[in-house]
Structure 1
Amino acid sequence: MKNKTVFILLMMLITSFNSYATTIPLYIPSAVTSELSRVFYKKIKEFEKLNPEINIKFHAKESYEDVFSEVLENNLNKKSSGVIIAELSELPTLVSLNAIIGLDDFICDDQELLTNILPSFLYNSYENKKLYALPMFRSTPSIYYNLDILKQVTNKAPLLLAPNWFDWIFESFVIQSGGSLSNEDNTNVLFNSSATIEALTYWKELKDEGLLIRSNRNWKSTINMFFYQAYPIVYYSTGGMVKRYNSAPFNKIKEQLKFAKSKIMTKNYSKVREVLKKAINRSLDIAQSEVQRFLK
């Protein structure tokens, strides 16, 4: 997925929508952050004030899966879901089931709208060269450091990964290596590519060295464990972090990944950098042997 850096949520217009209706459903997954529902509720009230003839029926679901399931059920019963926010991987399924309609006709006279969005953010909004969605939540995978702990332990301080969304986190490492998990048409996966092997080898090296731990709790609990100083480093999203980050009781640094391997870990964390170097060399050896095996 070229230029895809983070997990995206997409805003989609659902089929069977009556343009004369005064009530429009809006489905969102609200369990990501506590701020999310409040933000949407405020925006809905602002929209309804400017458009008194339209009423937004707000559906805040527990998860992306809950949103997706209800949209599919509505589609099966030929009932409109209005506007939804869904995870990007659901786009091909929704298109194949004719559960959503394209946006090209809606924005044909307002192409400037797309010029205000970074091209990489729009990459996952197309299917069969048609625009079906606009990027909604562009959280960025970031590494957060508790420098107070790192000053005390610089050799074996583990990096904590959330128990879910590890596929999204892993994909960012693959992209850093110059690769992708699928081709541009999303018709073939690239799990055996050198970039994917490099990223996975790096993760394995970290785990074998005791420097990578996958949390046995949920997404929210993972960041709570970091702020309670149970772990010195966490790989997490920027989404919903402002309040928590500003109120942290310890010295901290947030480093957004710039797709440069030298910035994957802090410069003071030399052990991880050594492991990374070994992982890259090993992945190159694996890739080379795979090529040689193929040529034979």
Structure 2
Amino acid sequence: MTRTLLGSAAISLAVLSPALAQTEITFFYPVQVGGPLTEVVDGYVAEFEAQNPDITVEAIYSGSYTDTTTRALTAARSGTPPTVAVMLATDIFTLIDAGVIAPLDEHITTPEDQAWLDGFMPAYLASARLDGHVWGAPFQRSTAVMYYNKEAYAAAGLDPETPPATWDEMVAHGRALTLRDASGTVTQWGLGIPGSSNAAHWLFGALVAQNGGQLSSEDGLHTFFDSPEVIGALEYWVSLGAEHGIHPPGVLEWGTTPSDFMEGRLAMAWTTTGNLGNIRANAPFDFGVAAYPGNPDPASVLGGGNLYLFADASDEEKAAAFRFIKHMTSDDLLADWGIQTGYVAPRDGSWDTQALQDYVAEVPQADVARRQIAVSVPEISTYEGQRVNEVLNAAIQAALTGQQSPADALTAAQAEAERILAVYRD
């Protein structure tokens, strides 16, 4: 299903209109998940330009989320910032501390603007609020979900309509789903949870929440890596491979997890709702999407990116960029974006559109993430977010590879994270 862009008459009108003063804005967009996302975004940009012939948008596809943030910060410090960019919601502390973004709510000047802002789901808008301001607009938001191979479930004697609801059930299902050939080599792993550096801290946050813990404080000034709940969550993750034999050894790569699942190497896979479009288009088998299990209460983690406005843009550029942000976060566009990609539309109004209602009726897997929001927690977010996440990811990987015990790895990580954050508490 593809959103219909403006008709040729409207585009011709824009071309034939008298010359208008052009405002040029640059838009950094991270290409992070599978699927032809650039073509979809190009279509949204073309639609906006047709509706706003006085504004030109240069869309720059800037790599991963980490690449995009690094590139945007570097450009801002050199005096050539983008006007608007999609960056992680968790980058908010770093971006404000660097002084490179402007409050978005300064452009809320009409009842229409306020209605647009109020239309975002509170769970997602909360990640954009800090120090009395709204700093970003939720765009490509997600929760982490579990994809599972229904055909593998049936072959293992499991009910394809009943995914695991607890940690113990996930282990039991994983044992039934793990297959070995005559030599003992695993041909299908029961479960895969990516532990590479661009995913470990995010998915680990879900495990921690399921175990009753949290990774960081709301003010971004403290971490809790050495708490019993956090250590217990990592011990469970390690046990999936070391004790239960249902998870690949070592660190599973985020980027290859969708293909590992679609090619039958994983029967259950933890990843983002943003991979739904890719998996739906390419999986050669019937699959399900499930909410995460619990220990005992289920929980997932919110994720994804917000649209940020850069502080050093001119007033004209900021005004144009705000119009662009509103376009990119309209009910209809976010509904279409969810259909195209699998991201969760972060506006209730999007879910009321006929397009998204029809899609959910056809693809009920798409509604799992929305229903899971109620039990989802914010992603870890602190000052010096990239450095703190690197410390946590290194600890997770040290435990997954057997270099350190979960307790030793996380105790050391906690000490280092608190050392990094100490300067912000003074």
Give the TM-score normalised by structure 1: 0.74
**Matched residues in 2 for 1:21 and 1:128: separation?**
34
- Aligned-partner Cα distance in 1 for 2:193–2:293: 19
Superposed counterparts of 1:1-296, under 5 Å: 22-109=23-110, 110-153=113-156, 154=173, 155=175, 157=178, 158-162=190-194, 163=196, 164-207=198-241, 208-213=243-248, 218-245=253-280, 247-257=282-292, 261=296
Q: Distance in 2 between matches of 1:70 and 1:25?
A: 13
1:208-230 alpha-carbon deviations (Å, 9 max, x no partner): 21223367564332111111111
- Percent sequence identity is 26
**Structure 1 pair 32–247 and aligned structure 2 pair: CA distance change class (3 A):** closer
User: Which one-letter code corresponds to 2:30 in the other structure?
Assistant: P
Q: Which runs of structure 1 show a deviation greater than 6 angstroms over 4 or more consecutive aligned residues?
A: none
Other structure's SS at 1:219 match: coil
CA contact (8 A) 1:159 1:212 kept: yes
Structure 2 residue identity aligned to 1:111: Q
Contact 1:160 1:214 in 2 (8 A): no
- Matched residues in 1 for 2:71 and 2:297: separation? 44
User: Partners in 1 of 2:104 and 2:249 — Cα distance?
Assistant: 39
- Alignment gaps of 5+ in structure 2: 1-20, 157-172, 179-189, 300-406, 408-426
Q: Deviations over 1:197-256 (max 9, x none)?
A: 342232233232122336756433211111111121111111032252255322322102
The unaligned stretches of length 5 or more in structure 1 are: 1-19, 265-285, 287-296
Give, as a single letter, the amino acid of the residue that structure 2 aligns with 1:24: I
Distance 2:26 2:137 in 1: 17
CA change 1:260–1:117 in 2 (3 A) is farther
SS in 2 for 1:44: helix
Q: 1:73 to 1:263 in 2, by over 3 A?
A: closer
Structure with the largest fraction of helix: 2
Q: Distance in 2 between matches of 1:258 and 1:225?
A: 21
- SS state of the match for residue 49, structure 1? helix
Give the number of equivalent residue pairs. 246
Letter in 2 for 1:160: G
Residues 171 and 141 (structure 1), Cα distance of their counterparts in 2 relative to 1, 3 Å cut: same
Aligned pair in 2 of structure 1 residues 243, 69: CA closer, same or farther (>3 Å)?
closer
Structure 1 position 183, deviation (Å): 1.1
